[in-house]
Amino acid sequence: MTHKLTVRVPATSANLGPGFDCLGLALDLFNAFTLVLDDPFRIEVTGESAERLPRGEENVVVQAIRRVLHDAGLAAQSLPAFSLHLDNQIPVSSGLGSSASAIVGGLVLGNALVREVAPHKELPLDRILAIATEIEGHPDNVAPALFGGGVLAFHDKAGLRTTPVPIPRELRFVAATPDFALSTEQARKVLPATYPRAEVVENIAQCARLMLALSTNDLDLLRGGLVDYLHEPYRRPLVPGAREVASAAVDAGAFAVTISGAGPTLLAWSIAEHAITVADEMTLAWLNAGIPCRTLVLEPALCATTAQRCFD
């Protein structure tokens, strides 16, 4: 009898426009990671970028599993051998949280393995979040990947904290991903070290506007776009055709368009009635710029990431 542990981790869109490094949203596009116990170590990868991803100990999922085992005080040699099957549906280097998905998937799998062999050493969820943030660098991708839905992450005297952000049920998110990659490292390098005070004040207003629109279900507050001054003006030039694609989405009925994470995916905020038209017009606008793209109409993924145990 084969003993398996499986997790499905959602794609995420970080920043959500003016919520730079603190707001994120889980979307219903998933990577699935399966750990098979008492199996010789090997890694099988299917789906997105399967040919590019490492199949050894350097794989991010394996490193995250090992990190949890280390934090739980479990020696690797005392654990059963395992193999992994990674099925990736989230495009890599797209701004849709593929790296966060791998980190969270590995940490949740590792914690499930701890629960199997030493239940009293299982790590609490806030520790899993802290490790994920340490590895990823920022919580706005890993927090929604772990908890689902919309998430605000912030620090206070208690350390890193998160709280759910309500997402109106009628919202749909059109993710338009052009056929080129943009690394987070590259997108970070273009950001300035300081900003003019007036721009920071306006960014605070825009973020407050976004939170008010979501919490009161007043989607008209989103019309006219979500203006950001902290990252989008500097990253937009790295995404050829971005302005034309965003304009096409708004003309087709989208409330606003934001750069998803570090890009190059653009995320159009719409209602279901307009979502397909928005997707078609974004695709056409990028094709007119000579760039193939893929568009997906996505809903928020509201469930937290957990490991499922099964036997074959």
| Residue 290 is labelled as binding a ligand | no
Distance of CA 74 to the CA centre of its chain: 29
Report how far residue 216's alpha carbon sits from residue 189's, in angstroms, rounded to the nearest whole number: 36
| Residue 83 is labelled as binding a ligand | no
Report how far residue 123's alpha carbon sits from residue 142's, in angstroms, rounded to the nearest whole number: 17
| Residue 94 is labelled as binding a ligand | yes
DSSP character at residue 56:
S
Instruction: Give the contacts of 88 (CB within 8 A, at least 6 positions apart).
Output: 31, 45, 46, 47, 48, 49, 50, 53, 98
| Residue 287 is labelled as binding a ligand | no
| Residue 150 is labelled as binding a ligand | no
What angle in degrees, to the nearest 10, is found between the helix axes of 139-147 and 98-117? 50
What type of residue sits at position 157? K
| Residue 93 is labelled as binding a ligand | yes
| Residue 201 is labelled as binding a ligand | no
Report how far residue 13's alpha carbon sits from residue 92's, in angstroms, rounded to the nearest whole number: 13
| Residue 129 is labelled as binding a ligand | no
SS3 for 1-26 is CCEEEEEEEEEEEECCCCCCCCEEEE
How many Å is the maximal CA-CA distance in the chain? 64
| Residue 247 is labelled as binding a ligand | no
Report how far residue 250's alpha carbon sits from residue 228's, in angstroms, rounded to the nearest whole number: 16
What type of residue sits at position 107? L
Placement of tokens 């590019």 in the chain: 52
Residue numbers belonging to the annotated binding site for ATP: 91-101
Residue numbers belonging to the annotated binding site: 91-101
